[in-house]
Each structure stands twice: as C-alpha cells, then as structure tokens.
Amino acid sequence: MILILGGTAEARELAAALHARGVSVTSSLAGRVSRPRLPAGEVRIGGFGGPDALARWLEEHDVHAAIDATHPFAERISASAARACAQAGVPLLRLERPGWDERPGDRWTWVEDLDAAAAAIPRLGARVLLSTGRQGLAAFAGVADAWFLVRCVDPPDPPLPPRHELLLDRGPYTLAGERALIEANRVDLVVTKDSGGEHTVAKLDAARERGLPAIVVRRPPRPSGVATVVAVADSLAWALARHDAG
C-alpha cells in the first residue's frame, strides 16, 4: 500500500492518479477542517501520535512507500514522517509545490514567522486581508491599530485581533473575486504565508494590480535528507515504481 500524507490539492491529485491505476492508496488527513475534501481511495483521519506511533502504523499496514504531500507550513508531520520512515525502512518522498516568486510591481516584505508578520503590519497598512489560515492567529491579537478581514476555512479559536471581521471561505480564489474583496473592504495590505500554487495566488495578483503591499511569511525549514519533487507527475512515477517493486 502507498501512504500519502495529505491535506493539499497535490495530495488529492496524486491519490486520484494512483487510485485510477488500481494502486492501493491510503491518504492520511490531520482532521483539522470540519468538512475536508476527500481524496480517492482509502482515507484515514487524525494524528498518529508522533513518529514512533507512525513507524508502527507503517509496519502494521504494510506500507511500501510514503509520500509526504502535506502543506509547506505543516512542519511537525513532515519531521515525524522523516523519522518514522527511516525507522520503519519505508522509502519516503516529499512532494512540495514551489513557493511564490516576486514579480515586477510586487511590494512584498518577507518575514520569518507570524510574529514578525504581526510586528510589520503597523508600518505597512491599516486594513489587512489576513489569509494565513486558522492556526496561529493569536500572533495578531495584539495588533490594535489595524482592522483585519480574517479569512479561513473553519472558525478560528480566540484570541483574535480586537478589530476584525471573519470570512469563512475556501479556495480556489479567482482574480475577479479577490479584486472585489479588496475593493469592498478597502484592504490596503495583504498578509499571507508563502503557500505557493495556483489556488490561492490571486490575492497577490490583485495586490500587485492595485499597488498594495503584501507581507509574505517564509517557509519553515524542511527535514534534511528527504528526496523532494515539485511535480505531481514525478511523485506518481516514483510511487508507481515503488508499487511495482513491492
């Protein structure tokens, strides 16, 4: 069986491609969102209980190979997968979409983490589209001199910034939609993680068009020693080769 650590569009694409080829595939989701988009094939939901428990799971479920296709900011599960696969002797591939590149007209400020993003806000804008996701919003709770449009899939836990509006929504987002959102809310600053990919990039395209600044949170470091590809097709070829060998 091939295990995909998922929660991303690329993970769903890979699961669909393997399933369509008759390969036994299980996708693992963290269970963070209340109504996840379910991939093709088998799905299991919830944490494993750390790297040792994941290593046991790999052995018990006769996993031939694993693909870590989790989000670029999901640090803990990637570290856990690297340790567990090494421990259980299961080949591991990382599938990670490339980050976004600055283009002419962009006014980006790169920061290391959400705390640094919060600290940079007061000098860059007063009406913020905050699209860093539901987790970690406490970093912005102390920013009292800006108004926030907080966009996430499910309602976040407090604390949140004192002046905010919540927008529950999930991508993919269109350029026309992002333009309209920015205009209607008089947004003058976009704050985002460097998630990469096409599904959520339109906010940055809309900001560029309007000459607005953006704060972009850099990706965290990856576990070392894990082979990495950026294209779903390459991860598919790798998984099929492991499946055939198994």
The CA dihedral of 16, 21, 24, 25, to the nearest 10 degrees, is -20
Q: Nearer to ligand NAP by C-beta: 73 or 188?
A: 73
Closest listed residue to residue 23, CA positions, set 46, 44, 4: 4
CA distance 70 to 48: 14
Give the shortest CB-113-to-ligand NAP separation in angstroms: 12
- Binding-site member from 15, 23, 29, 66 for ligand NAP (CB under 6 A): 29
**By the rule CB under 6 A, 75 interacts with ligand NAP:** yes
Span from 70-78, 115-123, 175-183, 197-205 in contact with ligand NAP (CB under 6 A): 70-78
Contacts 24+ apart (CB under 8 A), 38-42: 39/4, 39/6, 39/11, 39/12, 39/15, 40/12, 40/15, 40/16, 41/15
Mapping DSSP to helix (H, G, I), strand (E, B) and coil, where does residue 246 land? coil
Q: Nearer to ligand NAP by C-beta: 156 or 188?
A: 156
**By the rule CB under 6 A, 232 interacts with ligand NAP:** no
- Binding-site member from 3, 7, 10, 14 for ligand NAP (CB under 6 A): 7
**By the rule CB under 6 A, 26 interacts with ligand NAP:** no
The CA dihedral of 112, 113, 116, 122, to the nearest 10 degrees, is 110
Give the shortest CB-156-to-ligand NAP separation in angstroms: 12
Q: Residue 29 corresponds to which tokens in the numbers above?
A: 């989701």
Strand bridging mode 147-152 / 213-217: unpaired
Q: Nearer to ligand NAP by C-beta: 50 or 142?
A: 50
CA distance 4 to 93: 10
Kindly write down the DSSP assignment for every residue of 143-174, as one continuous string.
--SSEEEEEESSPPPSP--SSEEEEE--S---
Cβ contact 27:4 at 8 Å = yes
**By the rule CB under 6 A, 32 interacts with ligand NAP:** yes
Give the shortest CB-157-to-ligand NAP separation in angstroms: 13
Report the chain's terminal Cα–Cα distance, integer Å: 9
Q: Nearer to ligand NAP by C-beta: 125 or 133?
A: 133
- Here's the x/- map for ligand NAP, 170-209, by CB under 6 A: it reads as -----------------------x----------------
CA distance 215 to 192: 6
- Binding-site member from 15, 18, 28, 178 for ligand NAP (CB under 6 A): 28
Span from 6-14, 103-111, 120-128, 144-152 in contact with ligand NAP (CB under 6 A): 6-14
Span from 45-53, 58-66, 138-146, 163-171 in contact with ligand NAP (CB under 6 A): 45-53
Site of interaction with ligand NAP (CB under 6 A): 5-8, 28-30, 32, 47-50, 54, 70-71, 73-77, 80, 133, 135, 193
